[in-house]
Amino acid sequence: MGQIPNRPGGPWRAILLAASVLGSCLQPAPAQTPVTIVLTPPSPVVGGDVSLAPQNLPQDVLVCSWYRSATTHESSRILTYYPPPAPDQIPGPAYTGREIAGPGCTLHIAGLTLSDTGNYTVLIQSRTGTNPVRSIRVVLRVSDAPRPALSAGAVAGILIGSLVGAALVGVGAYFLSSRCRNKTPKKNGAPVLVYENLPLTAWVGPVAQPGSPPDPSPIYQMLQPRQLDVYEELKN
């Protein structure tokens, strides 16, 4: 058998060239890196700011629109952003005045409130690529602003103040109770001796007889009905 001639322009060269072209056409297209959205800070709080930045964007972005929902309905559009060389921002129906777009189709939201919690969607349109229009969604969660913790000195001050207040209340209650219990009835500015737990016809004394020297032996006098009324008034 003779050898296959190796001549320039021969049929074997044409066959090899066709196979090379066919192989290059059958090679799969490189997979596109998925676009994701990163929140900065990752845990935004009420009153703070947050940035929603798409990652792995194509280089030839024409326009991107942000929506405050899981869909791209026009009523939920926050804004539409046109990147350089002629950057521009067009507000939408869901624009609140706290949103602004920046390079890379990043959405900045200032002065966060609890109502900002929810789904956000960005619609990105590029000039070329197998997928010139992409829709990416992210969930923004605003937790309430943390309250400052009390220092050890503040806790000790509150505890001491509570104890002092309780002590003052107890002393005041004891003073009022003692005063009411030891109150002596008076008549015409002079104290009147009152015997407790006596029957209705109570006794008071000693009573000195007019014009007589003091008698060492006490004399007791039965109260009359009118005197009993005075006694009850003085007692109450």
Bridge-based pairing state of the strands 77-82 and 88-91: antiparallel
CA distance 69 to 67: 6
* Torsion of the alpha carbons at 17, 21, 22 and 27, rounded to the nearest 10: 140
> End-to-end distance of the chain based on CA atoms, in angstroms?
147
What pLDDT does residue 70 have? Answer: 95
CA distance 160 to 59: 66
Q: How many CB atoms are closer than 10 A to CB 68?
A: 23
What pLDDT does residue 62 have? Answer: 92
| Amino acid at position 187, single letter | K
β-partners of residue 90 are 80
Q: Are residues 56 and 35 in contact, defined by beta-carbon separation less than 8 angstroms?
A: yes
Phi-psi region of 97 (alpha: psi -120 to 50; beta: other; left: phi over 0): left
What pLDDT does residue 157 have? Answer: 77
Sole residue written with tokens 């539409």: 80
Q: How many CB atoms are closer than 10 A to CB 175?
A: 10
What pLDDT does residue 153 have? Answer: 78
| Residues of the chain under the 50 pLDDT cut | 1-8, 12-30, 198, 200-204, 220, 223
What pLDDT does residue 120 have? Answer: 97
Q: Is the pTM of this model over 0.85?
A: no
Bridge-based pairing state of the strands 50-55 and 106-109: antiparallel
What pLDDT does residue 44 have? Answer: 96
Please write the tens of the pLDDT for every residue from 170-189. Answer: 777 776 766 655 555 666 66
What pLDDT does residue 24 have? Answer: 43
Sole residue written with tokens 């309430």: 144
What pLDDT does residue 151 have? Answer: 73
> What is the DSSP secondary-structure string of 160-213?
HHHHHHHHHHHHHHHHHHHHHHTPPPEETTEE----TT--SS-EE---PPTTSP
What pLDDT does residue 184 have? Answer: 59
What pLDDT does residue 133 have? Answer: 85
Q: Are residues 34 and 119 in contact, defined by beta-carbon separation less than 8 angstroms?
A: no
Q: Which are the contacts of 9, defined by CB distance < 8 A and separation ≥ 6?
A: none
